[in-house]
Structure 1
Amino acid sequence: MNNKELARLLRSLADGQISVDDGVERLKQLPFEDLGIAQIDHHRTLRQGVPEVVLGERKSLEQLRIIVAAMAKQDQNILVTRLDNEKATALCNQFPEAEYDIDARTFCLIQQKTKITGQGKILVICAGTSDIPVAREAAITARMLGNDVEELIDVGVAGIHRLLARQELLNEAAVLIVIAGMEGALPSVVGGLVAVPVIAVPTSVGYGASFGGIAALLGMLNSCASGVTVVNIDNGFGAAFAANRINQKKN
């Protein structure tokens, strides 16, 4: 329940359109709902402007069924991240209107039309095709949170002319999420080309000495370009959430 829905409920109660008992019934699950295996934070939309997001990794299918069903009753949009294909297929059978992105491993159940509330465009850039899963997770998350998102793929520093040819697109963005593995140089390059926040995401893509993304992480943390902020390895979701907060209009 968001601010507008709560205001509508209170007006209905004040106007006598619903009874006190009905109002209590609708409000009693507002702070959180104890499901035994999870406590769903239904109050998060009021506090933060977006509903709780479910991490699908390490949850059983039965746990996911219970959690998604409880959230669906609130008539809100639902995003499940890090969900494998087998569990996603079962959930999509239960919720046929949902969509699963196999690259991003995201399950999206849209129950309300997503409104664009971001003040500008978020541009998601990835260095190589191997970085697409993290880039897609970031892009889908940012869209679910109400942002205009564009994606630019395979423009890493091994062929920097591919990036430089898109300078106009870089200049149009309000926030950039830049994703790279290997030595993690791309965010530094982008950070030197734009005047807006850059959120760098190291990926676990690379050969032996990349140490599962640690080399890229350290490279990004030591960026000489101003305005580059770094999230954890493969954390497209975290980057998108941070970009959303930067991009949202203030009330």
Structure 2
Amino acid sequence: MTEPWQPDEAMAAFIELDHDRARRRGYPEAVYCEGKTPGQVRSAALAIKASGTTTLFTRADPAHTKSVLSVLPDARYDEDARMLAWPPDPPAPRGGQVLVVAAGTADFGVAREAQLTAVYLGRAADLVTDVGIAGLHRILARLDQLRSARVIVVVAGMDGALPGLVAGLVSAPVIAVPTSVGYGAALGGVAALLTMLNSCSPGVAVVNIDNGYGAGHLAAQIAAPA
């Protein structure tokens, strides 16, 4: 009997990958795995292998990961980011420095997704963690690092106040990422999202809740070589 995650011809018929994206936009294809069956993701991996297209697989759970690695065994998997990259080696970094800042350890997975996305899109990207505003000295101790970045991604849940604080300290643009971290009134990240959208610090752009990939992609574009 065929395993449930194996693709079939009907499944493959629904897949039309954007193999031309890297030439057209300068950045490669990405496959969002959440909501797809493992078989559909495996069919995408087969198409990617046949074309040789550089690809990121985002929001991959263990079953998705098994499917991808059955076709692309050398793909790099990062458990925290829930991301696979193929080919496994990122391009040599060019352009400006990206800095990803995570308010708390609970925000780490989204921050790691943002960092790896920027890295695989060709940027140098560092990650600073656990510098939320509950201990203000932690972010203030990073001022030199913050001010050396071309663009900063700030990932925060709870009240989502960290991006506005960071933007008030630096000249670089800040990309704010609300996370679904927090108690009941955090509303699954909506409270953080609204705080970020209402930031009184200019120069803050906001992506959707938990969208580390979108933030990392935008950061890579902002930090692209002139």
- Fold shared, TM-score > 0.5 on shorter chain: yes
- Work out whether residues 29 and 53 of structure 2, in 8 Å CA contact, stay in contact via their aligned partners in 1: no
CA gap 1:183/1:92 in 2 versus in 1, 3 angstroms: same
Give the partner amino acid of 2:212.
G
Query: How many Å apart are 1:111 and its aligned residue?
Result: 6.2
Structure 1 197/48 Cα, relative in aligned 2: closer, same or farther at 3 Å? same
Q: Structure 1, unaligned stretches of length 5 or more?
A: 1-34
Instruction: Give 2:143's match in structure 1, choosing from 167, 177, 196.
Output: 167
CA contact (8 A) 1:177 1:198 kept: yes
Q: CA deviation at 1:75?
A: 2.3
Q: Does 1:110 align with 2:87?
A: yes
In structure 2, the residue matched to 1:68 is 45
Structure 1 distance, partners of 2:145, 2:117, is: 21
Q: Which moved more, 1:89-98 or 1:176-185?
A: 89-98
1:18 aligns to what? Answer: none
1:42 aligns with 2:33: no
Q: CA deviation at 1:112?
A: 6.6
Counterpart of 2:5 in structure 1 is: none
Match of 1:197 among 149, 156, 173: 173
The one-letter code of the counterpart of 1:243 is A
Task: Look up the equivalent residue of 1:65 and give its one-letter code.
Answer: R
1:220 is aligned to 2:196: yes
Q: Deviations over 1:199-235 (max 9, x none)?
A: 0000010011111111101101111111011111111
2:36 and 2:88 map into 1 onto residues whose CA distance is 23
Measured in 2, the distance between the counterparts of 1:108 and 1:52 equals: 11
Give 1:162 shift.
Answer: 0.6
Among 33, 37, 45, the alignment partner of 1:56 is 33
Who wins on radius of gyration, i.e. which is larger?
Answer: 1
Tell me the equivalent position of 2:6. Answer: none
Match of 2:57 in 1: 80
- Measured in 2, the distance between the counterparts of 1:248 and 1:77 equals 18
Q: How far apart, CA to CA, are the structure 1 residues paired with 2:103 and 2:38?
A: 34
Distance in 2, matches of 1:242 and 1:87, equals 25
Q: Please provide the CA RMSD for this pair.
A: 1.6
Contact kept? 1:121, 1:147, Cα under 8 Å = yes
Residue aligned with 1:234, SS:
coil
Matched residue, 2:4:
none
Distance (whole Å) between structure 2 residues aligned to residue 62 and residue 210 of structure 1: 35
What is the distance in 2 between the residues matched to 1:112 and 1:102? 17
Can you give the 5+ residue segments of structure 2 that lack an aligned partner in the other structure? 1-11
Q: TM-score, normalised by structure 2?
A: 0.91
* CA–CA separation in structure 2 for the residues paired with 1:159 and 1:113: 34
- Per the normalisation by structure 1, the TM-score is 0.82
Aligned to 1:9: none
Q: CA 1:56–1:161 in 2, change beyond 3 Å: closer, same or farther?
A: same
Alpha-carbon offset, residue 113 of structure 1: 5.3
